[in-house]
A and B are shown apart, each in its own frame.
Chain A
């Protein structure tokens, strides 16, 4: 099984350990991974702020970069949602027939990480060990954008030693929303405060999710408040084994 890793611009820059975890995990499961050195960004930040032509350029670039790849694995639901939900409209409006054909061939090969594990590899038990109390945060893009459903829970259920604390109001947005977090910083913070009440109330040690975007927002507030909880991308939980435990960086 071959797969190409699209790390995403913000993971590449800010959360390389998530990428390392994905590599460790997939290699352990027998996947031959490659990494296109020219990759940059899916264009979501631009599309969501209204910079459509910039988003289109980046979208076109990404599709062309991965023209000949079997599977593309992306450890970020929001980037996958961008590709599935917004690329069609962008290419309809700004692209041409040739590009739309390329996209049609490209689209079915795109997988979010948990989709790749469960749907493509057919595994739920990835051999992980993470003896901590953990709560799972469902990012909106994962929940409503690409409909991950119970995939994250099925994976977490098989992690040895993990004590899963259910998060109340699971479907309520954490308030990150991309540039919303700075354009409407105060409202974003109000939503964060409310979400944090639920998250901290689980008394978990870690809050995990399939998107570092939400985790950056939640974790940033936890750190500011000395809240006694840390965030960790699920890839790092799944990569963690008894012999090679992987904690979030301090």
Chain B
């Protein structure tokens, strides 16, 4: 598989910093093309639908307001959800962190004497690294989403939260399926590949009595769970087995059933550029005779409550995992998801991942942005991602101000010095003169600088810099325009 990037590490504790992680991707034309193509398809479809939806901005406002209201009253709504879900025959569990959640799920499966489990795609389960844990405990874990099967069988990591295998093209899928399904005759036609997946999964759906799902929404009013999908594997997993375990971040709650009238309208348009996705399922607890009779919800904190506590950053938790931000992001377009070293990539990943890590890891992610603002423009729940990126940057700097290693970082030194220099006009002017003199040593005959040392070298890797002009603007003004009244200093 010559075009597949070496196995990326999607653990923020271990992943290389973003600038470094991005390098192999930037040098991979196939990957960049796959990502750009996938994004363009979604963006074009989304664009048409947003244009047609005359109340789109009103929907965004309502969605943001609903999510804000829930987060501000999260305790009350979670307790309501728990009470209603339990009354309807479900069991609600609480997990402080990933390790607890994994253990709860394993214990539930052991209670059922399960040897295998089928899964609907859930990024939350990837966040807590559930699959390797269950596999190490001897369980067979079968993903059932087409993208997740591709990743699982091809031993790869997701690079997008809605279309996780977007970095893989059809011939790469063919290779994976042919090998792992024992189907060497398989063509690379997406129809044939999809059919192969359908056949591969059919018996699993019918035979495996335990399933794990995530949740798009938890409805507090009814104790209901809603799952939004396209393929039907979700319906299979939450209808056919005897046991269903739903893993959900605590922030997934909506107050009432009716709130789906807003959320369903914004989610599909943002995520896949459709008015509505093919299948949305909702169930309240257990219905005798219909679907799993043994139903559990595992509510996951894993750092979310600490984000909740921060006034400015709380909006991060409004996220409904639509991926519109990464589809609109010019940085993500070039790097794909793996460079972010987290199961949550792109703009939302850049703010969510370091915060889930309590700012101990992934400190390069808030800088993985040119602050263009496209993400904020498309976010259906109006998360001001640029604002949070800036907030997190200042937290990183404050953390590192006293770090000796940082003290010798040229960029840090330069910015600290610049802060002093720019606060006094005479000092600024003096440094400008020095800069011009220094610059003259590296300015070529064409009047441009082609190479600079240190941090400057990062600029001149790919760009020239026009040489420092002989006169600054203020010097020109002094000579040509300044009037007596202005020559007095303030």
Q: Do chains A and B touch in the complex (CB under 8 A)?
A: yes
**Interface residues in chain A, defined as those with a beta carbon under 8 Å from any beta carbon in chain B:** 7, 9, 11-20, 23, 33-41, 43, 45-52, 54, 57-58, 61, 65, 86, 89, 140, 144-145, 171-173, 175-192, 194, 216-217, 219-221, 223-224, 249-250
Enumerate chain A residues within 8 angstroms of B455, measured Cβ to Cβ. 182
State in angstroms the CA–CA spacing of A45 and B483 once bound together: 31
The reply to whether A180 and B422 contact each other, CB–CB distance below 8 Å, is no
Enumerate chain B residues within 8 angstroms of A33, measured Cβ to Cβ. 481
Cβ-closest chain B residue relative to A180? B370
Q: Kindly state whether residue B56 has any CB partner on chain A within 8 Å.
A: no
Q: How far is the CB of A11 from the nearest CB of chain B, in Å? A: 6
Q: Kindly state whether residue B232 has any CB partner on chain A within 8 Å.
A: no
Enumerate chain B residues within 8 angstroms of A188, measured Cβ to Cβ. 370
Q: Find the residue from B370, B390, B471, B489 having the highest chain A CB count within 10 A.
A: B370
State in angstroms the CA–CA spacing of A184 and B18 once bound together: 8
The reply to whether A220 and B464 contact each other, CB–CB distance below 8 Å, is yes
State in angstroms the CA–CA spacing of A48 and B461 once bound together: 23
Q: Find the residue from B448, B464, B471 having the highest chain A CB count within 10 A.
A: B464
Report which of B330, B398, B425, B459 forms a contact with A185, defined as CB distance below 8 A.
Answer: B459
12 A-B pairs with C-beta separation under 8 A: A7-B473, A46-B418, A48-B371, A49-B415, A50-B366, A50-B393, A61-B423, A144-B377, A184-B368, A189-B461, A223-B448, A250-B447
Cβ-closest chain A residue relative to B331? A187
State in angstroms the CA–CA spacing of A224 and B449 once bound together: 10
The reply to whether B464 and A140 contact each other, CB–CB distance below 8 Å, is no
Given A191-B333, A220-B465, A224-B464, list of 5 further CB < 8 A pairs?
A: A37-B477, A38-B490, A47-B390, A50-B366, A191-B331
Chain B interface: which size bin?
35 or more
Report which of A11, A47, A249 forms a contact with B473, defined as CB distance below 8 A.
Answer: A11
Q: How far is the CB of B404 from the nearest CB of chain A, in Å? A: 18
The reply to whether A177 and B415 contact each other, CB–CB distance below 8 Å, is no
Q: How far is the CB of B320 from the nearest CB of chain A, in Å? A: 22
Q: How far is the CB of B371 from the nearest CB of chain A, in Å? A: 6
Q: How far is the CB of B332 from the nearest CB of chain A, in Å? A: 10
Q: Inter-chain contact count A-B, CB under 8 Å? A: 217
The reply to whether B474 and A35 contact each other, CB–CB distance below 8 Å, is yes
The reply to whether B466 and A40 contact each other, CB–CB distance below 8 Å, is no
Enumerate chain A residues within 8 angstroms of B330, measured Cβ to Cβ. 172-173, 175, 191, 194
The reply to whether B22 and A186 contact each other, CB–CB distance below 8 Å, is yes
Cβ-closest chain A residue relative to B334? A190
Enumerate chain A residues within 8 angstroms of B474, measured Cβ to Cβ. 7, 12, 35, 37, 39
The reply to whether B476 and A16 contact each other, CB–CB distance below 8 Å, is yes
**Interface residues in chain B, defined as those with a beta carbon under 8 Å from any beta carbon in chain A:** 18-19, 22-23, 26, 32, 330-331, 333-335, 366-374, 376-377, 387, 390, 392-398, 411, 415-416, 418-419, 422-425, 428, 432, 435, 446-448, 450, 455-456, 458-459, 461-466, 468-469, 471-478, 481-483, 486-487, 489-490
Enumerate chain A residues within 8 angstroms of B331, measured Cβ to Cβ. 184, 187, 191
Q: How far is the CB of A200 from the nearest CB of chain B, in Å? A: 15
Q: How far is the CB of A64 from the nearest CB of chain B, in Å? A: 9
The reply to whether A186 and B23 contact each other, CB–CB distance below 8 Å, is yes
Take A50-B390, A51-B419 as given contacts and tell me if A37 and B397 are in contact as well, using a CB distance cutoff of 8 Å.
Answer: no
Take A35-B481, A37-B474, A58-B422 as given contacts and tell me if A180 and B463 are in contact as well, using a CB distance cutoff of 8 Å.
Answer: no
Q: How far is the CB of A153 from the nearest CB of chain B, in Å? A: 20
Q: How far is the CB of A81 from the nearest CB of chain B, in Å? A: 9
State in angstroms the CA–CA spacing of A226 and B471 once bound together: 26
The reply to whether B370 and A175 contact each other, CB–CB distance below 8 Å, is yes
Report which of A61, A184, A224, A249 forms a contact with B462, defined as CB distance below 8 A.
Answer: A224
Enumerate chain A residues within 8 angstroms of B468, measured Cβ to Cβ. 13-14
Q: How far is the CB of A21 from the nearest CB of chain B, in Å? A: 10
The reply to whether B419 and A186 contact each other, CB–CB distance below 8 Å, is no
Enumerate chain B residues within 8 angstroms of A192, measured Cβ to Cβ. 462-463
The reply to whether A173 and B372 contact each other, CB–CB distance below 8 Å, is yes
Q: How far is the CB of A87 from the nearest CB of chain B, in Å? A: 13
State in angstroms the CA–CA spacing of A43 and B411 once bound together: 16
Q: How far is the CB of A113 from the nearest CB of chain B, in Å? A: 14
Take A50-B394, A250-B447 as given contacts and tell me if A40 and B425 are in contact as well, using a CB distance cutoff of 8 Å.
Answer: yes
Enumerate chain B residues within 8 angstroms of A178, measured Cβ to Cβ. 370-371
State in angstroms the CA–CA spacing of A224 and B451 once bound together: 11
The reply to whether B459 and A14 contact each other, CB–CB distance below 8 Å, is no
Take A46-B418, A250-B447 as given contacts and tell me if A86 and B486 are in contact as well, using a CB distance cutoff of 8 Å.
Answer: no
Enumerate chain A residues within 8 angstroms of B367, measured Cβ to Cβ. 179-180, 183-184
Enumerate chain B residues within 8 angstroms of A89, measured Cβ to Cβ. 387
Q: How far is the CB of A79 from the nearest CB of chain B, in Å? A: 13
Enumerate chain A residues within 8 angstroms of B486, measured Cβ to Cβ. 34-37
The reply to whether A58 and B334 contact each other, CB–CB distance below 8 Å, is no
Enumerate chain A residues within 8 angstroms of B397, measured Cβ to Cβ. 49-52
Q: How far is the CB of B252 from the nearest CB of chain A, in Å? A: 29
State in angstroms the CA–CA spacing of A34 and B484 once bound together: 11
The reply to whether B423 and A19 contact each other, CB–CB distance below 8 Å, is no
Cβ-closest chain B residue relative to A57? B423
Enumerate chain A residues within 8 angstroms of B476, measured Cβ to Cβ. 16, 19-20
The reply to whether B469 and A17 contact each other, CB–CB distance below 8 Å, is yes
Report which of A18, A50, A61, A191 forms a contact with B370, defined as CB distance below 8 A.
Answer: A191
Q: How far is the CB of A65 from the nearest CB of chain B, in Å? A: 7
State in angstroms the CA–CA spacing of A93 and B419 once bound together: 19
Q: How far is the CB of B331 from the nearest CB of chain A, in Å? A: 6
Cβ-closest chain B residue relative to A187? B22
Enumerate chain A residues within 8 angstroms of B481, measured Cβ to Cβ. 23, 33, 35
Q: Find the residue from A12, A47, A171, A187 having the highest chain B CB count within 10 A.
A: A187
